[in-house]
Structure 1
């Protein structure tokens, strides 16, 4: 019989597990992490599923946090974003001496609003990357000010405007985080260029092999210890192309090499590159080069 996975399904439950006073709002809360007691329910935190959105500014994270399948690195970054239904594990709880603040909200809070649809467009919720986001002092203060605005609204008497005001603050919060992630891609170009170089090596080796299957973004991302979304966003900021477009560019370059230097037929090349049907290869090649593979091959005859 499989063991039951610990799950956080509500803001109130989160407060109880953290040994905090009851939240001022049933679906939204700003938590002072210095007040959290992880030890009363120590076993729970070792492995659990969180069904809430969380945005945290953390300091003193000496323990090991695993989000999905990836370890978080807090050496430089302080901001962490998680989405519902993610598996989280905390190791070395005895080393936790957290300070900072965490904003949590239940998906039902934004249900029916425009944010319930647009929130999925923020790629950072799908990054699961191993780097917490670095913030400057000014950026950190902007985030904390928005936390404070939401907390103050929770303390007010709930009226017909309360939800709209808080959702507006959440939307502004997400825009700022998106901005800071994009800034991090730009300011850390050395790291980004290193990722691009490693991706080139991975694709070169892949197309040298006899796998006869197109490489996927997931495969490349796994090799780089990144998620597909994070990799695509990083490359988009660096080169203007997504990870999928990079794969297609590399595949077209390999196709041109085979078409111009071998006697293989178009169908044989399509199969070697991982296409089940030559028509699919022809269509993509024509889209990228304005020539069919056969037309391209004939220019070398």
Structure 2
């Protein structure tokens, strides 16, 4: 039976990774080559820290959900508090050059980043959706990581927290830019995913799946496409300017318009056919997207 542990602090993380006492209680920067993992293979870990990890290790495998992933050279992965991972294999050498930044949510308390970190949605991506960095991007991020590490070696003063948060925000802003670059490079594949998304929504209603599960959620659509909900939404924003939820809503509106103009079905029946439990919820969504009510739309078209 596999073991299960929770890591709630930087000190706990250091103990489980075989690192020395942390220089700062709320943040740590460490090299991949310094790790001496003490947890048994197969141990499941509940993580209550933020992790940013540049992995450059061909022999590292992590379990995430029901899948196992190999970290490739130059892959940057993110984890947020409340996520669980499983270490399945760890063979490290002094030649490994990856690094990780771990920080506790309390480091952000009272700072602007506490309010904005939720915008960095890649913390919710699946490990398989990691950022593939170019050497130039690795160098840029590595310089910021070095600045953070240098700050943890200083005696703490009233500026420490602000400096650490500023560097973290800068690093995350660069990661957002680099993810945008990755989305653009993958645009042809992304268009295929959008086509699959549209096909799935049509099938969802045409084969009666809606009758069992109701209006399709972003989670359901992401699972069908093999993507995390946040990655799917960010991909769609990059390609279409609209989120996954917007995409679903527009699909519902388009389907409703066809039914309103092509049949004499009541608004209540149309709402029910789309999966709305209450017709007023459908009417509210329709008016928000179209600027007029369903009845007004029907009478003016």
Common fold by TM > 0.5: yes
- Runs of at least 4 residues of structure 1 off by over 6 A? none
| Secondary structure in 2 matching 1:166 | helix
- Confirm or deny that 1:257 pairs with 2:255: no
Q: Structure 1-normalised TM-score?
A: 0.89
Deviation per residue, 1:172-212 (Å, 9 max, x gap): 11111111112211221022112111101110101213334
Contact 1:70 1:129 in 2 (8 A): no
Deviation per residue, 1:25-66 (Å, 9 max, x gap): 22221111112122x4324x6311111111111012434323
Residues 1:117 and 1:293: Cα distance change in structure 2 (over 3 Å): closer
| Secondary structure in 2 matching 1:275 | coil
- Residue 28 of structure 1 corresponds to 27
Tell me by how many angstroms 1:246 deviates: 0.8
- Confirm or deny that 1:288 pairs with 2:289: yes
| Secondary structure in 2 matching 1:92 | strand
- Confirm or deny that 1:115 pairs with 2:109: no
- Residue 9 of structure 1 corresponds to 8
Deviation per residue, 1:114-166 (Å, 9 max, x gap): 22222122111122352220111111111110111111111122222222211
- Residue 229 of structure 1 corresponds to 230
Distance 2:138 2:167 in 1: 15
Structure 1 residues 213-228: aligned runs within 5 Å: 213-228=214-229
Distance 1:70 1:258 in 2: 42
Tell me by how many angstroms 1:235 deviates: 0.4
Tell me by how many angstroms 1:112 deviates: 1.9
- Residue 90 of structure 1 corresponds to 87
Gaps of 5+ in 2: none
* Matched positions, count: 296
- Residue 269 of structure 2 corresponds to 268
Distance 2:115 2:242 in 1: 25
- Residue 149 of structure 2 corresponds to 151
| Secondary structure in 2 matching 1:248 | helix
- Residue 18 of structure 1 corresponds to 17
Gaps of 5+ in 1: none
Residues 1:221 and 1:14: Cα distance change in structure 2 (over 3 Å): same
| Secondary structure in 2 matching 1:31 | strand
Moved more, 10-19 or 242-251: 10-19
- Residue 66 of structure 1 corresponds to 63
Contact 2:259 2:270 in 1 (8 A): yes
